[in-house]
Amino acid sequence: MNEAVFLETSEAIFSAVEEWLEESGIDLDMETGQGMLTVVCENNGSQIILSRQRAVSEIWVAAISGGFHFSLQSGDWICKTGETLQQLLSRVLQEQAGEAPRAELELDD
């Protein structure tokens, strides 16, 4: 994937994640900028940070449980753990915020 396509795709993903989280009703605060989406869990102040890594066309997620790298594989953003982006975000939100969104994360790649 060329850099322009990756930037456009990752921006759409960050927007979709932000909308998904806003609609979840979970007590979160979000901030975007400089190629990152920072999610703050209001119950304890912990953060989940999504960032785009242009050089390798990956989306990285930093959470208390570790750092995770996602690449586009057969139309899904997959981590080396085997989890999709939604699965991992749901898991780390459950761990850090005590709940995860019930709705599907809609990603149009």
- Please provide the DSSP assignment of the chain as one string: --HHHHHHHHHHHHHHHHHHHHHHT--EEEEEETTEEEEEETTT--EEEEEEEGGGTEEEEEETTEEEEEEEETTEEEETTS-BHHHHHHHHHHHHHS---SS------
Give pLDDT tens digits for 11-69: 999 999 999 999 999 999 999 998 999 999 999 999 999 999 999 999 999 999 999 99
Q: Does residue 107 register a pLDDT over 90?
A: no
In a domain, 89, yes or no: yes
pLDDT number for residue 1: 85
| CATH number of the domain enclosing 84 | 3.30.920.10
Report how many domains make up the chain. Answer: 1
Question: What pTM does this model have?
Answer: 0.92
- 108 part of a folded domain: no
